[in-house]
Structure 1
Amino acid sequence: MAITFTPRRGGILMCDFGPDPADPLTFPLSAPPVGVAPEMWKIRQVVVVSPAPLNHRHGTGPGVCLVVPFSATPPRSEDPWDVPFEARAYPSLPKASWAKCASVTLVSHARLDRVIAGRGYRGDFVSGADMTRIEAGLRAAFGL
């Protein structure tokens, strides 16, 4: 699992944030990636929010990009940094989901993969209107 292309802004990908840190079988972990509570963990959908100049590969190694993770677990309270998406708003998001803008993070391309759907891969991109909603969530999360 690692992309071999430069991800574009708005692309929906899968990100391996690592195993559940509360799982007693996780530690000691012999191989990364690993999350630490209360960080994001498990493999989940993300949307790339960084601009193309940041997303390129670094020499022969993987590059990095800024992503906002999605969660299918409803937030405990309605906050402006949790941006809702209806089930099947995009084929890559089959369940009702929330873009967790307060959990934006910089990740290596080595953590990213395409979304598998059926017998193939998805190449979904959020619309301009949805990216505007995510940007508003990011501004709310950072107090901008």
Structure 2
Amino acid sequence: MCNPPEPATEHTPELWGHSASAHRVHGWCADCPGHDLAEETVAWRVRENRRHDAEQAALAASAANRNTVDLAATHDHLCPVCGQEALTVVRVALVGDSGEQRPAGGWAHCTACDATPHPTLEEPDRG
């Protein structure tokens, strides 16, 4: 694995090269040996499609149980399994008659390595 660069603050040709964001998410970029731009583009598309699918599933579940359950998904948490910023965290809350929400758990899914580090309805540390 290559060492990711410091994030560029402007687009100038001398700052082009390794992608810090691709290294954070995939662990590699198109500029790394053995990888190319097409592979990185596909990796980004797969990641975004998985994020979209996870968000749509959470929204559909929340809409189906509007009166009693609230689901919220957040993205780009650090995965404890692969170390990439690709963990989607879903928080489950029960909604009482007064509208008050009480945490009921949650789960997490990594779109990079398919890990489910919190599969038992345990809300992971968001640190």
TM range (shorter): under 0.3
Calculate the TM-score normalised by the size of structure 1: 0.24
Q: Which one has the bigger helix percentage?
A: 2
Greater relative contact order (Cα 8 A, min sep 6): structure 1 or 2?
1
Q: Indicate the structure (1 or 2) with the bigger Cα radius of gyration.
A: 2
Calculate the TM-score normalised by the size of structure 2: 0.27
